[in-house]
Amino acid sequence: MLQHPKVKGPGVGLLGFSKGGDLCLSMASFLKGITATVLINSCVANTITPLHYKDMFIPSLGSDPGKIVVTESGVLIFLDIWDNPLEELNYQSIIPLERAQGPFLFLVGMDDHCWKSEFYARIASERLQAHGKDRPQIIYYPGTGHCIEPPYFPLCRASVHTVLGQAILHGGEPKAQSRAQVDAWQEIQTFFHKHLNGKKSVPSSKM
């Protein structure tokens, strides 16, 4: 990325959503040149599959598929299937984000039905501070589900999971979700401009 002609440098920013979020946490923790990282409803532990990088290995956070809830309409709710990463058996799955060089911004949908995003953001904050690092910026969005997309995208309360081939519930209420997406778009830009360009403010988005 740093060699790309459109990348200003000297560092790059990462934006990760859901599973992509813990991949971005891992990249920020182990790769050089990453100056700022934004996570949208992400887990602080490695999920779904073990992570291998050079001589490093991070196991996947455990889960219990038996805790899947099926609604009357047949939509799945995954919220409670994931094990607690703070329990001793799962602690090794937590990504060592204290190794990262740059700051973090966590965007948390308080009606997320896929991840316990608020809980994971709190773990990240406590871990960073325990290692003498600055606490991350965390923005909480009440009534907002898992999919915080760019402004004016319609609310996606449920969708068919690519791997499972079944519909899963994301959560969110239309009005709250719409407002959250407009605000999050501006907050993401402000965060990246500050930590990549050194600008404290940016013009309001015209979207």
Instruction: Enumerate the active-site residues.
Output: 18, 112, 146
Phi, psi of 69, rounded to the nearest 5 degrees = -100, 135
H-assigned helices in the chain:
19-30, 117-130, 174-192
Q: Nearest Cα to 40, choosing from 59, 58, 25, 51?
A: 25
